[in-house]
Amino acid sequence: MAKKQLDEDLLVSGGASSAQHSKSAKAAAAKQKRAAKAKARYDKKKEALNAQLEKAETDAQKEKIKAKLRALEQGRSGHGLSKKAKKVVAWVVTVVVVVALLCTYVATGAVRNGFLAYLGTFNNMTVATVTDGTDKIKVSLGQYNYYFATVYNNYKSLASQYETYGLNAADYGMDVDFSKKLSSQMTTDPDDDSKEITWLERIQQETLDTIRTNYMYYNEAVKANDGKEPSITEDQQAELDDALDQYRTQAQSYGYTLSAYLVQAMGKGVTESVFTHEMTVSYIAQNYSDSLSDTQAETYTQEDYDAYLNEHRSELETVSVRIFEADSEEDAQAFESALAADGSNFADLAVQYSSSDLDKMLNADPHNTQELYATRSMLENSSNAYALADADEDGNSEGLDWLFSTDRKAGDTARFSTTVVYVISPVSLSDVQTVNVRHILIAPETESGTASDATADQWSAAYEKAQSVLQQWQNGDATEDSFATLAQENSSDGSAEDGGLYENVYPGQMVSNFGNWCFDSARKTGDTAIVQSQYGYHIMYFVGQTGTPVWEYTAQQALASDDSQSASDALDEKYTVDTNWLASRFFEKDTDIDFGG
């Protein structure tokens, strides 16, 4: 297949049926509604915290409020770009994203024109050096292009997502038009809000920062391994090999070698060996970064946990509730009026007042409308109206304040705008433990690959398959090991390679039906069931409780996160990236220029 055909396929996303467009439009509308709610919640919280900051009298009070603002900003990445999140491509993203990068290029048309196509002999010249003052790691132009492609593609992909949702990307820090020259568009420097730079400078800057961070962790990993490059895990090697096999097959269909295909998509110098090397570096860097937190977590004592509890008790206390978000206040009022005093008809009413067939199916399971052992922060991050209800200038929310009041008792009900809340158990420090669980996800087969687009027949077929797989397990050894084998063979979830295993699961981590089944008080080791979520049918296997209370696990993770962040900050202070001035003249000047090739 000719190069021209590859160029066309890279630049054109392909056609779609009217039915697909209709489904996409509905999905986009729903996502836009959720995003708008999330933005409203974020804006209200930020406004309240800023008001508090203006009223604060002592430095200690100001620092505490500023910390809350930073936490709010850093938690915003799902709905917009905080100062830190404005750097769309953190170093760890290269591990996950690059595996699918070329598929994205082909499928979405997110391709750069003229990736230094006019260069030839300069691909191996050193354009940057990463150093800690002692070790020096040289980065070639081909390696630079690899990271530039990743950063650029992620920005462009994010902008496309905002457009799909009907949102103005500029409201989320994405004030860029990828159909125009990046060098002629100005934006704020993520590291200095008072400084303006071009979008091209921003992407180049973040490319270098990604290189520095990646090689910072990589070099520390090598030093910790007696100067030898650590091996990546078997799963990581398999993932990399699979990706290369897929790309090689794709390249051959166009009459290209794999290296030529990679160069076409990512830029001159990004050969198979460069791609493989940088992916390996990213895996090793990620593994070392993860180990910082894991190592810290092993050092804490009960005294450390108790001290954390004394300081953060209100953040660790939980409530268990039933929640339903209606489409209108009128529906919510009718729901509340019809609700039995003991809440026994909550699920039936949820089905009655659900507007979509999928929601009706999901809400038929009482687990779906439950939030068990939920912390205040968990509920704050929901889009339900009670979480948004009349937050005042002190940051208090009427709905959450009501819910977490010590006056609450089991059976209390309330309505906040379109949300109806029923209290199962009032606020307390729960002794519920984290759990280990296995599952096999059987997703309905749809043309779009999205379960939410499935027809009733497709859902029915998925359920029949789930029943068949569960029956196969029951007719066999019916052990945890045999369940794990079936998960590897049948599950469409990312956990399939690990036999469907999730460890240290805590409330709120999984989708409602999945998580609430795990934390049902009647659950015991060896229990199985089929539960439905928006992703498909989950065949569940309960491995057991871990013996660690959720609040203690939360404390451990928080302490380890803080300590590992301190360790990372220390490395950040030590490592720098310096560019070769002459070589930097060969950096790409404008991604929209087609230089030929």
Q: Distance between alpha carbon 398 and the CA centroid of its chain, in Å?
A: 29
Q: Could you state, in order of their start, the residue ranges of all structural domains in the chain?
A: 3-297, 318-428, 433-552
- The topology (CATH level 3) of 433-552 is Chitinase A; domain 3 (3.10.50)
Instruction: Report helix, strand or coil for 250.
Output: helix
Higher pLDDT, 43 or 291: 291
pLDDT band at 111 (very low <50, low <70, confident <90, very high): very low
What one-letter code names the amino acid at 221? A
Q: What are the structure tokens assigned to 553, written together? A: 């696990």
| CATH 1.20.1080 for the 318-428 domain, yes or no | no
The pLDDT > 70 percentage for the chain reads 74
Q: What are the structure tokens assigned to 371, written together? A: 């939030």
pLDDT in tens, 554-574: 999 899 888 888 888 899 999
pLDDT in tens, 450-502: 888 899 999 999 999 999 999 999 999 999 999 999 999 999 998 998 999 99
pLDDT in tens, 215-262: 999 999 999 999 999 999 988 999 899 989 988 998 898 888 999 888
Report DSSP state, residue 557: H
Burial of 112 (0-12, 13-18, 19+ CB in 10 A): buried
What one-letter code names the amino acid at 591? T
Q: In angstroms, rounded to a whole number, what is the distance separating the alpha carbons of residues 363 and 532?
A: 10
pLDDT, position 122: 57
pLDDT in tens, 47-73: 666 666 666 666 655 655 665 655 554
- Assess contact for 209 and 272: CB atoms under 8 A: no
pLDDT band at 304 (very low <50, low <70, confident <90, very high): very high
Question: Taking Cα atoms as reference points, which of 494, 501, 492, 513 lies closest to residue 544?
Answer: 501
Residue 590 has pLDDT above 70, yes or no: no
Instruction: Give the neighbor-by-neighbor strand order of the sheet with 136-140.
Output: 136-140, 126-131, 576-579
pLDDT, position 194: 87
pLDDT in tens, 378-430: 888 765 555 545 444 444 578 899 999 999 999 999 998 889 999 999 999 99
Instruction: Report helix, strand or coil for 421.
Output: strand
pLDDT, position 10: 39
pLDDT, position 372: 94
pLDDT, position 267: 80
What one-letter code names the amino acid at 281? V
Q: What are the structure tokens assigned to 192, written together? A: 């200095």
Q: What are the structure tokens assigned to 436, written together? A: 């280990």
Of the ranges 32-36, 296-300, 529-533, 538-542, which one carries the lowest mean pLDDT score?
32-36
Pairing of strands 419-428, 413-416: antiparallel
Dihedral sign (CA 157, 161, 166, 172): negative
- Assess contact for 319 and 264: CB atoms under 8 A: no
pTM of the model: 0.66
- Assess contact for 555 and 305: CB atoms under 8 A: yes
pLDDT band at 527 (very low <50, low <70, confident <90, very high): very high
- Domains 318-428 and 433-552 equal at CATH topology level: yes
Q: In angstroms, rounded to a whole number, what is the distance separating the alpha carbons of residues 91 and 472?
A: 43
Pairing of strands 318-325, 192-198: unpaired
Place of tokens 């090697």: 237
Question: Taking Cα atoms as reference points, which of 273, 303, 248 lies closest to residue 555?
Answer: 303
Q: In angstroms, rounded to a whole number, what is the distance separating the alpha carbons of residues 425 and 412?
A: 9
pLDDT, position 460: 96
Instruction: Report helix, strand or coil for 62.
Output: helix
pLDDT in tens, 146-176: 999 888 888 888 888 777 767 788 877 788 8
Burial of 201 (0-12, 13-18, 19+ CB in 10 A): middle
